Chains A and B, each alone.
Chain A
């Protein structure tokens, strides 16, 4: 597939925003359970605001994917069958509940805030599910058709959100930054292992479709000699990234180094420095851009069998 930048930014930004809220609400729920106050009002406000900005920026990026953004409201119609439609509903619901959670906290109403936060968590997890299933439900995109897609979207989102939480905490809630950095390391390590598992799985895939099944001629020796157009088409632009193998390999190395090892080293050595943790978040986010680019680039669409040679 040709990686669409709008979707790369969309999925990584909302993932980080969702993860940041998960990190925030986990501590909020834990402190309510313990009957202690662990979160400062300031930290809740800053984190909720940051999560809203991340998710909102993702939402803006998603509009650039549409040919007709003015009709985007129509996309809520087919929620019975389409994961994309479900995502279009889950995203604004999550944003509204997230905003309600932040506002209720700001006005000193911790119990209603907790209730709104619990609903927001449900919407947040539903959003992770919808976003991942958009890709995982396409059975002939074998690289995507695996539960690992859902695991990766969720774990990587939570990992980057926890890194963001650690950075924000070291700035305005220093007592929490150490715990958040530790959690970011643990979840980051898990997400890293899951991503490597997916890479290993996809490296072993055998494509189910071949030129034989594509044109229905039984002969292992088939070669295309014309694709019906000389100057390319939607089919060659949308489904081929057109980059040399070295670029794809470089993207894999960048993601393998940046999504966990570099931020981990930074967090281990300076777990309380706001600057270092912020840099760790940015580096991890850049790694996630490479990760999502590679996610698209490695997926081989069966339609590509029909577009192997121009003439």
Chain B
């Protein structure tokens, strides 16, 4: 079976610190994906291109609520709807490891791929005028000049709670496959049959112990 690199994100331990966001931005502002331009970064309405964002949702009704921190980036779908619609071939999925990438030298900035992504994972770079998205740090994970333990995406390296696992989801013995199998890893918006490679590990419901009663 071919390789499919992906992230598996553990919603039990994500604390919403945004370290993955800033680390991603820092790494990908340079290298093959950079620059990742910002507009008005110190002004009233700061905006910019990001590959990864952490969002927060409140689940349930007060007082029975859960705060779910939810990191969101390109899911590197196994059947990516953004790829066939690209008129230039700038958007492509790599056969060797399943990473979905954009060739910035071919992209004409028509935005059509972003319309074709149900997850909103693609963002135009307002300065370079080409579409950008998570590369799974493709310029890092194969870099043999880095020590082996550093050949991982910047977001994974930065996560203080180890909420982000990285590996080959087609290899049944990989850590990510085991985690998905043992802990009910699920995909986002399965209704569109995009078969996202990235998966999420659901919250385990843990009842807190009332110290006054014990």
Same complex for A and B? Answer yes
Contact B120 A226 (CB under 8 A): no
Give chain B's interface secondary structure class. loop
- Is A249 part of the binding interface, using a Cβ–Cβ cutoff of 8 Å? no
Q: What residues on B are CB-neighbors of A222 within 8 Å?
A: 57-59
**Of the 9-residue stretches B82-90, B134-142, B155-163, which lies at the interface with chain A?**
B82-90
Q: A66-B110, A225-B56, A227-B53 are in contact. Are A215 and B115 (CB under 8 A)?
A: no
Contact A82 B55 (CB under 8 A): no
- Is B111 part of the binding interface, using a Cβ–Cβ cutoff of 8 Å? yes
Closest to B65 in A: A221
Q: What residues on B are CB-neighbors of A228 within 8 Å?
A: 18, 21, 50, 53-55, 72
Contact B120 A139 (CB under 8 A): no
Contact A211 B115 (CB under 8 A): no
Query: Residue B45 contacts which of A78, A232, A307 (CB distance < 8 angstroms)?
Result: A232
Q: In the bound complex, what is the Cα–Cα distance between A214 and B108 (angstroms)?
A: 29
Contact B120 A235 (CB under 8 A): yes
Contact A214 B56 (CB under 8 A): no
How many contacts A-B (CB < 8 Å)? 178
Interface size on A, residues (CB 8 A): 57
Q: In the bound complex, what is the Cα–Cα distance between A52 and B189 (angstroms)?
A: 44
Query: Residue B55 contacts which of A226, A239, A302 (CB distance < 8 angstroms)?
Result: A226
Which residues 178-232 of A sit at the B interface, judged by CB distance below 8 A? 208-209, 211, 213-217, 219, 221-232
Query: Residue A81 contacts which of B84, B191, B203 (CB distance < 8 angstroms)?
Result: B84
Give 8 closest A-B pairs by Cβ, nearest first: A67-B109, A303-B120, A67-B129, A228-B53, A85-B87, A81-B84, A75-B87, A226-B56
Given contacts A217-B57, A232-B47, 15 further A-B contacts (CB under 8 A): A66-B110, A67-B124, A71-B106, A76-B87, A78-B87, A78-B89, A81-B85, A140-B81, A211-B57, A215-B68, A216-B187, A227-B55, A238-B114, A301-B118, A303-B119
